[in-house]
Copies of this chain bind each other. A is one copy, B any other.
């Protein structure tokens, strides 16, 4: 008997299992990040931008975050209003908008990372660091396999 058969029972739904686990975990991080005025969606964006010297095109940024491009557009506008990021047109290609983190964005990130680190430490303590190491690798493999 194909061992896959049992996994075709909705109890084993890949999507729902990931979804509900993500929900539970998200609560921990949202609680900590609230203190620094960054949402759980905004923090990873700034984090990614800090690592992208010279700015990144919207599409590239969206891909790196595994995020819908139009969702990224919406998430970016409060960050832009708050002066934490800027969007310049690319001189080489007028279609492209390069997103860049500002100085204000960098200092907000310093605060954000403190809050984030509390959430991460709390989570790792509860689930176990070793457990997370292997889980993280598995998740990366899943994303690679599906995109």
Contacts and interface: CB of A to CB of B under 8 A. Distances in A.
A31 to B, nearest CB: 11
19 contacts: A4-B121, A7-B124, A7-B132, A8-B124, A10-B44, A10-B120, A12-B120, A13-B120, A15-B28, A15-B119, A16-B43, A17-B136, A17-B139, A21-B143, A22-B22, A24-B66, A25-B146, A28-B146, A126-B146
Main secondary structure of the interface of A (DSSP, over half): helix
A133 B11 CA distance: 12
Contacts of A7: 120, 124, 129, 132-133
Given A23-B67, A145-B126, A139 B4 contact: no
- One complex includes copies of this chain to the number of 2
Interface of A: 3-4, 7-8, 10, 12-29, 40, 43-44, 47, 65-68, 113, 116-117, 119-121, 123-124, 126-136, 138-143, 145-147
